[in-house]
Structures are given as C-alpha cells and as structure tokens.
Amino acid sequence: MKRNSKLTIAIAAAVLAILGAVAVYAQDKYSLKSPSGIAFADFKGYEDWSVVSSARTEEVLKVIVANPTMIKAYKAGIPGNGQPFPEGSRIVKLQWKPKKSTEAQFVVDVPDVFSQAFVMEKDSKRYPKTGGWGYAVFNYDAASDKFTADPKSLSDCGNACHTAVKAKDYIFHPYQKR
C-alpha cells in the first residue's frame, strides 16, 4: 500500500512539473508591460479590431487597427473636425516584413513575418506631457513565437514623431473610406 502511494505521488509530481513547464513556456502576451507600464492587456482583442488604414515602407507592411471607441470617434469626424479622440481610444500598428507573392498573377507584396505591434492609448491623466497619448512597442520573434516589450520604448517614445500631427490629435492615419 505504501509503495502504491509513493508511486502515485511521484507520478502526480512529475505530471505537475511537466504542466508547470508547459505553462511557463506558453507565453501569455497579455501579461507583458512596456518599461513605462503600458500593459499589452489594455489592447486585448486587437486582432479583431476594425482596420483604420494601411501603410508601406520599403522594409515594412503596416495595418493600423483601432478599438471601437476610436472607430466611433473617427466615424463622428474626429480628428478632422478639430476635436480630440476620447479617453480610452486605442490604436495598434501591426507590422510585417513583406515578401513577393508567389501565387498572384501580378507583382504584389504580401505580409511575410510579423515583427511588431506599436500601440497607443489615450489617457490624459497618465500621459499629460504627450498630448494624452501613451506609446509602447511590443516586438515579436517568430523563431520563439514570443512577444517582448521593447526596452527602449518609453511612454513618450512615439511622441517625438507624432508631434508632427499634433493638430490631428497626434494621429497620422485617417479613417479610410470604404
């Protein structure tokens, strides 16, 4: 009887150790925070948010998505009407390295490897020095299938660039007609 109990305890301990290792290995990207404290969890569900716009540089394909609060504001004419986006507005710029499509009958670049999520959130109390916007970058490593908070990404990291569009409440991309 004692032998069976010890065997059962040993098996249970081994199973728990394996499950613990799996839980540690399987990353929850929403547990990440930027160095300035912006939580990736604030952007939970971004994968299903509406598209605002897209952009392209030589190195990166970008799709810009926004939460329902910000989409509603865009549809009401913000920022073109001179009004700021409401508190709680969130926007994410998703970035991929491009590749040439091997299937299309014409020359077209398509997303290849996902690389980064650049996020912005409107919270005037937390970010009074940057027009009410907080900025963070979460890098993605395809080889490990993990996100990391960019260590150089402070809450005002994007503000230097976004100051150029201060008149549009620091947002570059308009909501595109569709």
Could you tell me the pLDDT band of residue 161, with boundaries at 50, 70 and 90? Answer: confident
The reported pLDDT for the residue numbered 86 is 98
The set of residues, in sequence order, having a beta carbon less than 8 Å from that of 169 and lying 6+ positions away, is 78, 79, 83, 84, 85, 131
On the question of pLDDT at 62 being above 80, the answer is yes
**Does residue 141 surpass a pLDDT of 50?**
yes
Closest of 140, 121, 150, 122 to residue 60, by C-alpha = 140
pLDDT of residue 25: 44
Give the CATH architecture of domain 29-168: 3-Layer(bba) Sandwich (3.50)
Please list, in sequence order, all residues whose beta carbon lies within 8 angstroms of the beta carbon of residue 84, skipping any fewer than 6 positions away: 78, 122, 132, 169
- HEC string of 113-124 equals EEEEEEEEEECC
- Tell me the pLDDT tens digit for each residue of 4-22: 555 455 454 445 545 454 4
Look at the block and give the residue holding tokens 């499509």. Answer: 101
Where b means 16+ CB within 10 Å and e means fewer, 110-148 reads ebeeebbbbbbbbbeebbeebbbbbbbbbbbeeeeeebe
Query: Using CA atoms, how far apart are residues 93 and 153, in angstroms rounded to an integer?
Result: 15
User: Which band of pLDDT confidence, cut at 50, 70 and 90, is reported for residue 152?
Assistant: confident
Q: What is the model's pLDDT at position 155?
A: 53
d(CA 156, CA 129): 8
CA atoms within 13 A on the CB side of 124: 6
Q: Can you say whether the dihedral through the CA atoms of 74, 79, 82, 87 is positive or negative?
A: positive
Domain boundaries, the chain: 29-168
**Whether the bond into 151 is cis, omega within 30 of 0:** no
What pLDDT shows up at residue 5? Answer: 57
Q: Is the pLDDT of residue 36 over 90?
A: no
Rounded to two decimals, what is the model's pTM?
A: 0.81
Band the pLDDT of 88: cuts 50, 70, 90: very high
pLDDT in tens, 95-134: 999 999 999 999 999 999 999 999 999 999 999 999 999 9
Determine what percent of the chain is predicted with pLDDT higher than 70.
Answer: 82
